[in-house]
Amino acid sequence: MNAFSKLTFAIALAAAASVATAQNGAHASHGGHNAHAGHQATAAAELTEGEVKKIDKEAGKITLRHGELKNLNMAAMSMVFRAKEPAMLDQVKVGDKVKFAADRVNGAITIVQLQAAQ
């Protein structure tokens, strides 16, 4: 990844984090934290379509070209994700179409569910 791509990715990630933080504040004023938790759980359950571009089993990471991640307020793009469970990476190979769910886990955008598309 060249310097321009890294900078573009960093800006997109910062913008997504900023939007998520702003929305967290908005939800807090409408019913408190519990209302937000219910909304987030529903959004996280939605699977997004993607395509496996790279797998790094040693690092526990996968690169996906994916559609919009509504629960993370993120537009369609290609990016690297951590896998919540290393065994997830054994279920797919480069070029596979997948359906997945991602969420923030300890501050990192992480694949929490992954399956080969039917």
Residue range 22-59, pLDDT digits in tens: 444 444 444 444 444 444 444 445 899 999 999 999 99
> Closest by alpha carbon to 51, among 92, 91, 89, 98?
98
DSSP-assigned states of every residue in 73-110: TB-SEEEEEEESSGGGGGS--TT-EEEEEEEEETTEEE
Q: How confident is the model at residue 85 (pLDDT cuts 50, 70, 90)?
A: very high
Dihedral of the alpha carbons of 85, 42, 13, 74, in degrees to the nearest 10:
120
Q: Is the pLDDT of residue 75 over 60?
A: yes
Residue 40's contacts (CB-CB under 8 Å, 6 or more residues apart) are 71
Fold exhibited by the domain 3-116: OB fold (Dihydrolipoamide Acetyltransferase, E2P) (2.40.50)
Domain ranges of the chain: 3-116
